[in-house]
Chain A
Amino acid sequence: MIKQDISKYKHIWVFIEHDNKEIARVSFELLSKARELAKDLGCEVHAFTVGEKVEQFAEEVFKYGAKKFFIIEDPFLKDYITEPYRDSIVYMIEKYKPEIVLIGATTLGRDLAGTIATVLQTGLTADTTGLDIDPKTKNLLMTRPTFGGNLMATIFCPDNRPQMSTSRPGVYKAIEEPVKGEIIREKFKFDKAKYTKKILEKIIEEGEKVNLGFYDIIVSGGFGMGSKENMKLVQELAEVLGGTWAASRKAVQAGWAPQTRQVGQTGQTVHPKIYIACGISGAIQHQAGMKSSEIIIAINKDPDAPIFEIATYGIVGDVLEVLPKMIQMFKEKLGKA
């Protein structure tokens, strides 16, 4: 292991994930969390990103308390491709030496973080749900679930910098705290012949991003829904509640929902305020993806279904009878009839 002179590293850097149009919400969540950590460390929060057109994000980034915004703009960075993003970001990190680098644990963030940390030869903790500063050592303490959420581990990185973490979306609240920030424009010379991977086509599903972590209410359908047609009930209830819909692995495998909406061990992990499991038996693999939800409502005709073991409220009944009534009731109660 290569030990570094860690005293040269200062400030917290938050990666601003974007599609050249919009910033991913997790970046605001991380800026907000980083401000808390910065208070404990007595340092500043800085934002950084690369892309084709990223200076447009400065105002929003400053609104969430970033005192500096480090950017590299280049038409070559129009689409996210691992290697040019990595190399230009590594250049900035090596030049400015932040003490902590936080990246959202999205598909993009997880693709990027591992390769950056390897080039920097530093520690990276994946998919964290808790970040704190050790009051004695001032090290970053990164807490994450493992073994499908059965065990939590707190990880630290004492001798290498930056301390890096990918953090799950939806864990921290995005809270504005505007500051007057400064844009720092950097340039990176790409040896374009070196980058041989390219995107031939982008297939956008449903015209929206399916990041289940953004929603505070998730209505999820399982194999008990019986058909793709019946999944519309799940979608309708989600819409009435202003949330989003998801599915169990069995429902996805049956072709009733896209994989991007799968909750569970091999899908996404979610922790909304309310999770409504419809016709989901609640296999341990499914539970691993949703059992940290604040309120779990389970509807299942089998009173012995394992989902009732963890449900806050259970309704024993046929989803196809319960859901239409439930949709109607919420429409009336929430004034959407």
Chain B
Amino acid sequence: MHFLVFIKQVPDAAQVRVDYETGTLIREGVPAIINPFDKHAIEAAVRLRDQFGGKVSVLCMGPPMAEEALKEAMSMGADDAYLLSDRIFAGSDTLATSYALWAAANHIIKQTGPVDIFFAGKQAIDGDTAQTGPGIATRFNVPLITYVIDIRKVDPEKKTIEVVRLVESGQEVIEAPMPCFLTVEEELNKLSYAPLPYLIRAAKTPVTVLNSKNTEIDPSFCGLKNSPTKVKKAFTPPKRERGEIIEGETLDEILNKLYEKIEPVLKEMGKV
């Protein structure tokens, strides 16, 4: 079977700080990581490959430094790694990004054979849009299953898959034919430690670089100019000031002070 995982390299959003004087993000010294959800997608694909045979391809769009993320994906067990990197992609929104990734995936499929399951994380922690995965699935015209927390059954003969996904009211068990496209949650699996043979292979195996020259990607669908959405402005939200620690001789006194402070709000909400 062939599994294709779309990953993104992101700045570790948890370590990004805001410079309130300039109103910009401080990205200096912030490590670039594989988007946390995508790691679980790689893990799932690698486990299925180990169970059913075949291979795991990983595709990442980004600047040359994103090669690092692909090396890490290979150290997790991925077989082939592709970096889609070209200046023409700069400023792409989710529609343009999903176009470029779809076109690049088609190129990979032409070279290496059809894909049974496409994987992506449920969303990236920098943009938080959760739109690129569904966009690629739509372009491939394959069933989309978002927020997957369990892969219950894969039947390579019947070419079907049974998965569990999260919904607002609980969970849904879904059956879909392959090929299909899964976007995954963190609970899907626990990440394994990279075994030594994977690490060695990752170090030895080169990453294939794809761009507008060596694929059939149409530049008229790529980049800022061809993205329907544009950023008008970016700004930092107002800083939250440290409030007060309520003190008192006894817990009762503290709680009464707290109540007095929030009573007007509770009244306004009709709680009192």
Contacts and interface: CB of A to CB of B under 8 A. Distances in A.
Interface string A301-337: 0010000111111111100011001100110011000
A82 B144 contact: yes
A147 B271 contact: no
A295 B166 contact: no
B138 interface: yes
Interface centre among B126, B169, B185, B240, by most A CB within 10 Å?
B169
Given A216-B269, A292-B237, A83 B251 contact: no
Interface stretch (A31-39, A65-73, A106-114, A174-182): A106-114
A153 B14 contact: no
Given A147-B126, A242-B271, A314-B245, A205 B171 contact: yes
Interface residues of A, number: 94
Interface string A126-158: 110000000000000100011111111111111
Given A115-B144, A124-B94, A303-B245, A266 B36 contact: yes
B199 interface: no
Given A273-B269, A329-B255, A122 B174 contact: no
Nearest to A252: B187
Contact of B242 (A107, A148, A308): A308
A321 B133 CA distance: 46
Contact of A211 (B18, B168, B245): B168
A283 B15 CA distance: 11
A334 B271 CA distance: 7
Nearest to A286: B14
B174 A150 contact: no
Nearest to A117: B95
Contacts of A310: 240, 242-243
A119 B135 CA distance: 9
Nearest to B93: A123
B9 to A, nearest CB: 15
B166 A152 contact: no
Interface string A206-218: 1011110000110
A268 to B, nearest CB: 10
B166 A200 contact: no
B244 interface: yes
Q: Interface SS of chain B: helix, strand, loop or mixed?
A: mixed
B129 A108 contact: no
A154 B229 CA distance: 10
Interface in B223-241: 225-237, 240
Contact of B245 (A106, A151, A266, A315): A315
Interface stretch (A92-100, A191-199, A225-233): A191-199
Interface stretch (B43-51, B58-66, B108-116, B256-264): B256-264
B132 to A, nearest CB: 8
A160 B228 contact: yes
Contacts of A158: 230
Contact of B169 (A204, A295, A297): A204
Interface stretch (B70-78, B80-88, B175-183): B175-183
B143 interface: yes
B130 interface: yes
Interface residues of B, number: 89
Nearest to A336: B271
A311 B227 contact: no
Interface centre among B221, B235, B251, by most A CB within 10 Å?
B251
A208 B168 CA distance: 9
B144 A326 contact: no
Given A148-B16, A210-B168, A1 B96 contact: yes
Interface string B125-147: 11111111111011100011111
Interface of A: 1, 19, 82-83, 86, 106-108, 110-111, 113-115, 117-119, 121-127, 141, 145-160, 196-206, 208-211, 216-217, 241-242, 259-260, 265-266, 273-274, 283-285, 288, 291-292, 294-297, 303, 308-317, 321-322, 325-326, 329-330, 333-334
Interface pairs A-B: 9 shortest CB-CB: A123-B228, A114-B134, A123-B229, A205-B170, A1-B226, A126-B129, A160-B228, A118-B138, A197-B143
22 contacts: A114-B94, A114-B132, A115-B135, A122-B95, A146-B127, A147-B25, A155-B229, A155-B231, A199-B172, A200-B173, A201-B173, A203-B170, A203-B172, A292-B237, A295-B265, A297-B258, A310-B242, A313-B258, A316-B245, A325-B252, A333-B272, A334-B266
Given A107-B166, A151-B237, 11 more contacts: A1-B227, A123-B229, A126-B131, A148-B14, A151-B18, A152-B234, A155-B232, A202-B171, A295-B265, A315-B246, A316-B245
Interface of B: 11, 13-18, 25, 36-37, 93-96, 98, 125-135, 137-139, 143-147, 149, 162, 164, 166-177, 180, 185-187, 220-221, 225-237, 240, 242-246, 251-252, 254-256, 258-259, 261-263, 265-266, 269, 271-272
